[in-house]
Amino acid sequence: MSTLTDTPKVAAGRDTPARRRPRVDRLPYLLLLPCLAIIAVLLLWPLGQVVWMSFHRLNNVRQLRGDREWPWIGLENYVQILTDPFFRTVLRNTVLFAVANVALTMILGTLVGLLLNRLGKRMATFVGSCVMLAWATPALTGTIVWKWIFDDTSGLVTWLFNALPDGLSQALFGRTDWTGYGWFNSPLLFFAILTLVVVWHSFPFIAVSVLAGLKSVPSELHEAARVDGAGPWRVFWKVTFPLLRPVFGILIVLSTIWDFKVFTQQFVLAGGTQDRPTFMLSIYSYAEAFSPPPKYGLGAAIAVILTLILLVVTGFYVRMVLKQEEE
C-alpha cells in the first residue's frame, strides 16, 4: 500500500533532468563556417602549397603550371639553407633589424599616445589626423617618397648637407660636396634609413592603440598617485603600464611579425635584390625563388622557416599571457 511519502519510480531507460546533457547550441558554429572556409581558402591552402613546394626541386615555371613533374627531395632544401653561412648572416640581419624597429616603434608610439592623451580635444584630433597620414600612406608610395628624400643628386637630405658651411661640413664629415653621395651604399647607413622608413610608417598604429588603452584607465588612479607624490615617470610605470600590459604585449607581437616580414620598403630602397649584404628573410626568400636561375622550392623553404619563427614568437606570447592569467 503506497503512502504520500513514497518516491515515484523512474521509468527504466529514461534520464532524469539531472542526468540530461546540456543542449549545445550549434548556431554560432554554423555562423562561423563561412569565415573559416574563407580563411582556409585564402590562408591555409596557400600555406599548405608552400610547405609542399619546399620538399621538391622546382626550377621551372612549367613545373608550377603542372606540365612537368615535381622531383621529391625531402629535407634537402632545408639542409641547404641551414648549412649555408649566408643564411646565418640573413637571420642576424633580420633579428637585429626587428629588435631595433620594435623598440623604436614602441617607444615613439607610446610617447605620441601619451601626448595625444594630454592634449585638448581639438588639438588631439588635429595631431592624431596628421599622425595617421603616415599609417594611411601605402608602404610603396611612402618608400618612394623617402627614396627621393635621400636621392644622391636632387634629394632633400643631399640639398641640406650641401647647404652646410664648407668649414663645418669638412670638420664634421670630412667632405663639402654631397652631390653623388650614395646614401644606400653602406649596409649600416642603408639599415638606418630603412629603420627610419619602417618606424615612420608603423608608429601611428602604436600611438592610436596606446591612446585607446589610456582612455580606459580610470583617471582616479592617476590622481591618487599624484596626491601620493608620484611624478609622471612613476605614475606611468606604477599605474599606467601594469594596466596596459596586455595591450603592449599584443602590440609587441604584431610589431615583431610586421618587422620580420618587411619586404616592400627594402626592395624599393635597395632597387631590387642585388644588395645581398643587406638581405633579410623576406627578400632572401624572394631572391632565391625568382632570381635567375629560379629555385622555387628553396624560396618556399625559407618562407616556411620564417613562418615557424613567427609562430614561435606568437606562441611564446600566448604562453606568457596564459601564465599571467593563472597568476
Q: Quick one: average pLDDT of 275-287?
A: 90
Grid cell of 190 as nine digits = 642603408
Same domain, 64 and 188: no
Q: Is 285 in the same domain as 299? A: no
CATH code of residue 128: 1.10.3720.10
Higher pLDDT, 65 or 41: 41
- Pair (285, 298) in one structural domain: no
**pLDDT value for 78:** 92
The verdict on 98 and 236 lying in the same domain is: yes
pLDDT at 9 over 80: no
What's the pLDDT at 190?
Answer: 93
CA-nearest of 168, 148, 143 to 158 is 148
Q: What is the mean pLDDT of residues 220-232?
A: 77
**How much is the average pLDDT of 110-116?**
90
Q: At 1, is the pLDDT very low, low, confident or very high (cuts 50, 70, 90)?
A: very low
Q: What is the extent of the structural domain holding 264?
A: 84-291
Is 16 inside any structural domain? no
* Residue 257 shares a structural domain with residue 310: no
- Asked whether residue 41 is assigned to any structural domain, the reply reads no
List the helix and strand counts (H, then E) for the chain: 17, 0
Confidence of residue 153 (pLDDT cuts 50, 70, 90): confident
pLDDT of residue 4: 46
pLDDT of residue 291: 84
Collapsed DSSP state (helix, strand, coil) of residue 1:
coil
Res. 31 pLDDT band, cuts 50 70 90: confident
Cβ(109)–Cβ(207) below 8 Å = yes
Cα–Cα distance between 267 and 300 in angstroms, integer?
18
Provide the number of structural domains found in the chain: 2
Residue 21 belongs to some domain of the structure? no
Question: Residue 11 domain-assigned?
Answer: no
Please give, one letter per residue, the 3-state secondary structure of 276-298.
HHHCCHHHHHHHHHHCCCCCHHH
Residue 122 grid coordinates: 581639438
Over residues 296-305, mean pLDDT: 91
**To the nearest 10°, the Cα dihedral for 110, 112, 116, 118?**
70
Dihedral sign for Cα atoms in the order 265, 268, 270, 273: positive
For the chain, give percent helix, strand, coil, nearest 5: 70, 0, 30
Measured on CA atoms in the order 26, 30, 35, 38, is the torsion positive or negative?
Answer: positive
Residue 49, pLDDT score: 86
pLDDT at 282: 92
pLDDT score, position 44: 84
Higher-confidence position of 15 and 308: 308
Q: Is residue 2 part of a domain?
A: no
Look-up of cell digits 596626491 = 227
100 and 54 in one domain?
no
* Same domain assignment for residues 185 and 269: yes
Share of the chain above pLDDT 90, in %: 30
Provide the pLDDT for residue 234.
81
Q: 128-139: string of b/e by CB count within 10 Å (b at 16+)?
A: beebeebbeeeb
Query: Is the pLDDT at 193 greater than 50, yes or no?
Result: yes
DSSP code for 24: P
Res. 99 pLDDT band, cuts 50 70 90: very high
Same structural domain, 59 and 128: no
User: Is the same domain home to 130 and 189?
Assistant: yes
Identify the band that residue 327 occupies on the pLDDT scale cut at 50, 70 and 90.
Answer: low
Q: What does the pLDDT read at residue 326? A: 66
Residues 175, 277 share a domain: yes
Q: Is the same domain home to 73 and 93?
A: no
**Across the chain, what does the average pLDDT equal?**
84
Average pLDDT of the segment spanning 278-300: 89
Residue 33 lies in a domain: no
pLDDT at 79: 92
Question: Does residue 15 belong to any structural domain of this protein?
Answer: no
* Same domain flag for 144 and 195: yes
Structural contact between residues 80 and 74, judged by C-beta atoms closer than 8 angstroms = no
Give residue-wise pLDDT tens across range 282-291.
Answer: 999 999 888 8
In a domain, 167, yes or no: yes
Confidence (pLDDT) at 324: 67
